[in-house]
């Protein structure tokens, strides 16, 4: 059974959900709560979609809902899991609405005490019998994908749901609530935890996950996103405002972008050519070279750091000289010793005697600079050089920006993982990312919660190696005999004045 899971659709139109369902062909749609009433009636009702889906749409309410929102699950094709589990031959889908009121910290209208949640889940488990269980809970399990920063950094998951995740028959938990960690998954023993919360900022993409129940376990098929103006937003660099502007100019598709003149696409011919190249890469499903003469320093030192959500406390720094087979990692979980940690990083980089430093994006050097300021250390010259221009192979280069300037790829984003995978780099920990690692270290600093440090070491090492892998792949692409180079910018057609014949 194929399951489409979503949550926290607070600013999203049902048409986005319909578009995802059309592409993923689910047997069942699961909603993990909040603002359900938006889909209760009228043109934004999810009932027509639910009736077209084999087993309909099931879900729970979120903490910011109230009792009136339940009407969304009373429509044809819909089912309220809080009232009754959805039962199949070998799988029971249970529901727990709202969020925990533990220690009086809960916010919202629908909150539960540990006693209430335990009693509710005990009753639902009895209904499930001997079936395996998928729980749809608005709140994540305590300590799993539950680090929130909206009102200060805090773990806002449910202790009851965490204990439930460890029960023998529980195979998966679909949750939301914590927007920051939507689009991520973790495993607790044999239970897969999937957070599918979408952000509530206008024009945020809809996040979703596709799961598959194979009769014994629930597998994650994909995490994905769906944008408004989906086709235009595939082009890296076109945001919500840009997509709206293009649509106002009659641009509706990627083909329209490829055919459009510069003035319609952007303010400058250079920017227009880049946008056109990125659209062409998707249309023709191949890389498109933008700057065929681009070079990259051959003596670069690649740097990647891991921090908490504070971003000024790097505890693990991966360093690799270009061409060297090994990644050097300097680490210390104790933030009180970060002054000596930074000194070790400085001496490690100075020993390499290189003049160029590279990272994927500006986060890593920015974090190192902030950490030096936090502990009262002078910023070393190799780090301060990031504020200067990159001249004569000396300074700090943003590899993310370099790749985007040089080549357009048929991919949804230019994160290091996405780009590296496109060039066939295999990550040892494909479901780990910087947000999850940041959440783990934030919890460690806050309350001493331990995490798998060796797992993070492998992830950090892979990120460092992936940067060099990507650059070498792009360089090979630039010199390939069959590489396609984006044609020069297109000038807008000049308007000619009609000659008017004047009569005496």
Kind of pairing between the strands at 86-87 and 91-96: antiparallel
Per-domain residue ranges of the chain = 2-226, 230-285, 300-479
The predicted pLDDT at position 104 comes to: 47
Distances (CA, A) of 443 to 163, 198, 316, 339: 19, 22, 16, 21
The predicted pLDDT at position 386 comes to: 60
The predicted pLDDT at position 385 comes to: 64
pTM (two decimals): 0.79
Answer yes or no: is pLDDT of 266 > 80.
yes
The predicted pLDDT at position 314 comes to: 96
CATH superfamily of 300-479: Ribonuclease H-like superfamily/Ribonuclease H (3.30.420.10)
- Straight-line distance from the first to the last Cα atom of the chain, in angstroms, rounded to the nearest whole number: 83
Answer yes or no: is pLDDT of 435 > 80.
yes
- Tell me the per-residue pLDDT of 21-71, one tens digit each, with 9 for 90 and over: 999 999 999 999 999 999 998 899 999 999 999 999 999 999 998 888 999
The predicted pLDDT at position 108 comes to: 80
With vertex at residue 387, the alpha carbon angle to CA 382 and CA 388, rounded to the nearest 5 degrees, is: 85
Of 224-228, 426-430, 482-486, the range with the lowest mean pLDDT is 224-228
The predicted pLDDT at position 227 comes to: 81
Answer yes or no: is pLDDT of 501 > 70.
no
Answer yes or no: is pLDDT of 479 > 70.
yes
Indicate the pLDDT class of residue 496, thresholds 50, 70 and 90.
Answer: very low
Share of the chain above pLDDT 90, in %: 72
Level-2 CATH architecture, domain 2-226: 4-Layer Sandwich (3.60)
Distances (CA, A) of 195 to 15, 117, 224, 342, 443: 21, 19, 12, 35, 18
In 3D space, the residue among 371, 333, 363 whose CA is nearest the CA of residue 452 turns out to be: 333
The predicted pLDDT at position 268 comes to: 87
325 or 386: which leads in pLDDT:
325
Answer yes or no: is pLDDT of 243 > 70.
yes
Which residues are CB-contacts of 296 (< 8 A; sequence separation ≥ 6)?
397, 402, 471, 474, 475
- Tell me the per-residue pLDDT of 334-351, one tens digit each, with 9 for 90 and over: 999 999 999 999 999 999
Indicate the pLDDT class of residue 392, thresholds 50, 70 and 90.
Answer: very low
393 or 306: which leads in pLDDT:
306
Distances (CA, A) of 428 to 100, 185, 193, 255, 436: 35, 16, 20, 37, 16
């Amino acid at each position: 059974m194929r399951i489409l899971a979503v949550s926290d659709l607070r600013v999203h139109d049902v048409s986005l959900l319909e578009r995802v369902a059309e592409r993923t062909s689910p047997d069942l749609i699961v909603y993990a709560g909040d603002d359900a009433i938006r889909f209760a009636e009228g043109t934004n009702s999810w009932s027509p979609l639910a009736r077209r889906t084999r087993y309909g749409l099931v879900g729970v309410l979120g903490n910011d809902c109230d009792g009136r929102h339940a009407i969304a699950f009373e429509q044809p094709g819909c089912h309220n899991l809080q009232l009754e589990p959805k039962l199949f031959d070998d799988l029971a889908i249970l529901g727990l609405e709202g969020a925990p009121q533990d220690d009086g910290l809960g916010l919202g209208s629908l909150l539960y005490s540990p006693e209430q949640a335990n009693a509710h889940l005990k009753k639902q488990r009895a209904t499930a019998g001997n079936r395996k269980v998928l729980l749809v809970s608005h709140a994540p399990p305590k300590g799993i994908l539950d680090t929130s920063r909206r009102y200060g950094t805090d773990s806002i998951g449910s202790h009851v749901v965490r204990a439930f995740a460890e029960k023998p028959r529980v195979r998966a938990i679909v949750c939301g609530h914590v927007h920051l960690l939507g689009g991520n998954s973790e495993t607790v023993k044999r239970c897969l935890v999937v957070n599918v919360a979408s952000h509530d900022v206008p024009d945020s993409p809809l996040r979703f996950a596709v799961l598959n129940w194979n009769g014994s376990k629930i597998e994650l098929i994909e995490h994905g996103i769906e944008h408004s103006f989906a086709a235009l937003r595939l082009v890296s660099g076109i945001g919500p405002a840009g997509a709206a502007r293009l649509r106002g100019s009659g641009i509706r598709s990627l083909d329209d972008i490829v055919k459009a003149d510069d003035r319609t696409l952007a303010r400058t011919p250079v920017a227009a050519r880049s946008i056109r190249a990125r659209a062409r890469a998707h249309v023709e499903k191949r890389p498109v070279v933008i700057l065929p003469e681009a070079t990259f320093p051959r003596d670069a030192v690649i740097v990647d750091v891991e921090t908490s959500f504070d971003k000024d406390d790097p505890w693990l720094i991966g360093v690799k000289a270009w061409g060297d087979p090994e990644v050097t990692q300097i680490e210390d979980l104790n933030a009180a010793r970060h002054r000596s940690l930074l000194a070790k990083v400085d001496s490690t980089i100075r020993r390499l005697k290189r003049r160029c430093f590279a990272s994927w994006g500006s986060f890593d050097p920015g974090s190192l600079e902030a950490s030096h300021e936090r502990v009262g250390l002078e910023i070393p010259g190799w780090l301060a050089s990031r504020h200067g221009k990159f001249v004569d192979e000396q300074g700090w280069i943003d590899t993310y920006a370099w790749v985007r300037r040089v080549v357009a790829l048929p991919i949804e984003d230019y994160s290091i993982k996405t780009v590296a995978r496109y060039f066939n780099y295999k990550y040892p920990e494909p479901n780990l990312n910087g947000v999850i690692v940041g959440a783990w270290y934030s919890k460690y600093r806050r309350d001493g919660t331990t995490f798998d440090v060796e797992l993070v070491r492998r992830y950090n090492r892979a990120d460092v190696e992936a940067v060099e892998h990507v650059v070498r792949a792009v360089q090979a692409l630039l010199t390939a005999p069959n590489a396609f180079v984006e044609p020069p910018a297109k000038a807008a057609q000049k308007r000619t004045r009609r000659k008017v014949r004047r009569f005496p």
